[in-house]
């Protein structure tokens, strides 16, 4: 298994070839163009309504609807999507971006997050509008709005297959690979043993469905995210005098003449954009699958919360990792890569015990990411076919890929993730480019109701020309 997934095999050559194709540059162009486009037509929604986002997030901790079986809470969906985001992309991915693209890659990660938050708002709002009912409450995502809003089930099927391969199989291998790397680096444990333990633990939870996943995610994610950021703040406070030089290093490497001449400029952009997309997933079409599960009075509410998740992921958590690494010189040691770079940086600041903390943190971050990844795959398997046998096959394949990730090379796993992530993102970006104005109309309706002093509510006939809106009541039905 390890040999077949090695970078020096024919399979590795195909993955490397795929990552060098022109579509990688098309993806970057689409991300930037659509990010700026949605930012402008929404009148900078990710900045203008930041207070509203935070307010809705705290209101979303109310579990009344969840207890009644109506769907997940806004906070639980936030935790599930953040779980998928705040995994190896934040701890290992930032380290990979710095080691391959230099400190300047961090600037491009920031840029992708700042403009990508508007893209995240659009895709999650659309997922809410076109969600469908199921036995757990709701499900939905890009495949569903491609079918219902565009009338193109074939397009939705393409996306469903890609996200199932990407998140359900490849990305969970990335998460498991990083957990294994952290434990092997710290304790010299057999990768196969680590993989078996993870597979058993994750199997117990995923067979409990979305409700068990939501409960686990809403506990793990906030605790470890807050703890991780708090430790990074302590480190930055202890090195406050060096912070200006680190910030200057990031900007100089992002735009410096030396980098342009030496070719490092392109490496900084490519690695910053790729790792930024992998980390915050804005525009990729993953988070909308979690956003669609929520019981909420207006689609825009969850769109705002998911937009906030993008900002928290990159601007706060990824930056915490970046500053910890750049406040040391460990990133200049060529043979150190991935999560071990983050472990060494923290140990450099706080002593060897800090390496243990990173090991524990990456386990829980990546473990919660596995939960989010699994649900994204299941929601799209159910789009392809609702026959239980397909869900069962997917669960078995998911657990097999946990073992593959534990025993394969880091480089080929990351390359596979980048390849499928890019293909998936291009499909979703095309769809939201065509449907973005629907989200803008929903945003206007939301703001109009807020200006009237109302708690915004959405109905099937709020935007009367829209078809195939299944899970929202009409205004007359709600008044009965």
pLDDT at 257: 47
The residues near 350 (Cβ < 8 Å, ≥ 6 apart) are 231, 235
pLDDT at 159: 94
Place of tokens 């406050």: 240
Which domains, and CATH codes, for the chain?
10-328+339-452 (1.20.1740.10)
* Cβ(364)–Cβ(220) below 8 Å: yes
Give the chain's length: 480
pLDDT at 258: 47
State the virtual CA torsion across 215, 218, 219, 222 in degrees, nearest 10. 170
The residues near 275 (Cβ < 8 Å, ≥ 6 apart) are 89, 93, 94, 96, 97, 101, 105, 109
Q: Find, among 122, 133, 89, the residue nearest to 287 by Cα.
A: 122
pLDDT at 187: 67
pLDDT at 122: 95
DSSP one-letter string for 307-371: HHHHHIIIIIIIHHHHHHHHTSSGGG-TT--THHHHHHHHHHHH-HHHHHHHHHHHHHHHHHHHH
Instruction: Catalogue the long-range contacts made by 1-9 (C-beta closer than 8 Å, 24 or more residues apart).
Output: 1/403, 1/404, 1/407, 1/408, 2/407, 2/408, 2/409, 5/404, 5/408, 5/409, 5/412, 5/413, 6/408, 6/409, 6/412, 7/409, 7/411, 7/412, 7/415
Q: Measured between alpha carbons, how far is 40 from 2 in angstroms, rounded to an integer?
A: 47
pLDDT at 440: 96
The 3-state secondary structure of 416-435, one letter per residue: HHHHHHHHHHHHHHHHHHHH
| Burial 100-132, CB ≥16 within 10 A → b, else e | bbbbbbbbbbbbbbbbbbbbbbbbbbbbbbbbb
Chunked into runs of 10 residues, the chain (480 residues) has average pLDDT values of 47 50 69 90 92 83 64 73 64 70 80 88 94 84 94 93 85 77 69 81 73 70 75 80 83 63 53 62 83 88 89 80 79 58 72 70 76 83 88 87 75 68 86 94 94 89 86 72
pLDDT at 3: 47
Helix (H) or strand (E) holding 146: helix 142-148
* Cβ(63)–Cβ(348) below 8 Å: no
* Cβ(313)–Cβ(81) below 8 Å: no
DSSP assigned state of 125? H
pLDDT at 279: 63
Q: Measured between alpha carbons, how far is 37 from 16 in angstroms, rounded to an integer?
A: 31
């Amino acid at each position: 298994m390890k040999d077949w997934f090695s970078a020096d095999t024919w399979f590795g050559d195909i993955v490397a070839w795929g990552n060098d194709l022109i579509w990688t540059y098309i993806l970057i162009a689409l991300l930037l163009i659509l990010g700026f486009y949605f930012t402008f037509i929404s009148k900078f929604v990710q900045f203008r309504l930041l207070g509203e986002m935070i307010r809705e997030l705290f209101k979303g901790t109310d579990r009344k609807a969840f207890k009644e079986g109506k769907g997940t809470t806004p906070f639980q969906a936030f935790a599930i999507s953040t779980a998928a985001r705040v995994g190896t992309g934040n701890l290992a991915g930032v380290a990979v971006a710095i080691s391959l693209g230099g400190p300047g890659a961090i600037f491009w990660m920031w840029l992708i997050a700042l403009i990508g938050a508007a893209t995240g708002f659009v895709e999650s709002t659309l997922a809410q509008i076109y969600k469908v009912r199921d036995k757990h409450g709701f499900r939905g995502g890009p495949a569903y709005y491609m079918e219902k809003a565009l009338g193109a089930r074939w397009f939705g099927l393409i996306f469903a297959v890609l996200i199932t391969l990407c998140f359900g199989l490849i990305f969970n291998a990335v998460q498991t690979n990083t957990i294994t790397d952290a434990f092997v680096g710290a304790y010299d444990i057999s990768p196969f043993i680590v993989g078996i333990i993870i597979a058993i633990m994750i199997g117990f939870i995923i067979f409990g469905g979305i409700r068990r996943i939501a409960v686990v995610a809403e506990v793990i994610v906030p605790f470890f995210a807050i703890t991780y950021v708090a430790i990074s703040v302590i480190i930055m406070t202890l090195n406050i005098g060096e912070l200006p030089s680190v910030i200057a290093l990031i900007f100089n490497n992002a735009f410096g003449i030396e980098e342009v001449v030496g070719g490092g400029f392109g490496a900084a952009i490519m690695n910053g954009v790729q790792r930024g997309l992998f980390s915050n997933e804005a525009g990729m079409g993953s988070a909308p699958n979690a956003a669609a599960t929520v019981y909420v009075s207006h689609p825009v509410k969850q769109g705002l919360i998911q937009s906030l998740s993008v900002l928290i992921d990159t601007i706060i958590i990824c930056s915490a990792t970046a500053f910890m690494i750049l406040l040391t010189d460990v990133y200049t040691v060529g043979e150190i890569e991935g999560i071990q770079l983050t472990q060494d940086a923290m140990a450099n600041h706080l002593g060897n015990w800090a390496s243990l903390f990173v090991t524990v943190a990456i386990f829980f971050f990546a473990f919660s990411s596995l939960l989010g990844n699994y649900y994204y795959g299941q929601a799209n398997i159910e789009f392809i076919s609702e026959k239980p046998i397909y869900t069962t096959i997917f669960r078995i394949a998911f657990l097999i890929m946990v073992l593959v990730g534990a025993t394969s090379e880091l480089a080929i796993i990351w390359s596979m993730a980048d390849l499928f992530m890019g293909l998936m993102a291009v499909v979703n970006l095309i769809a939201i480019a065509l449907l973005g104005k629907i989200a803008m109309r929903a945003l206007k309706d939301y703001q109009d109701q807020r200006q009237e002093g109302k708690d915004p509510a959405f109905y099937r006939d709020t935007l009367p020309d829209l078809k195939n809106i299944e899970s929202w009541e009409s205004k007359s039905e709600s008044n009965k």
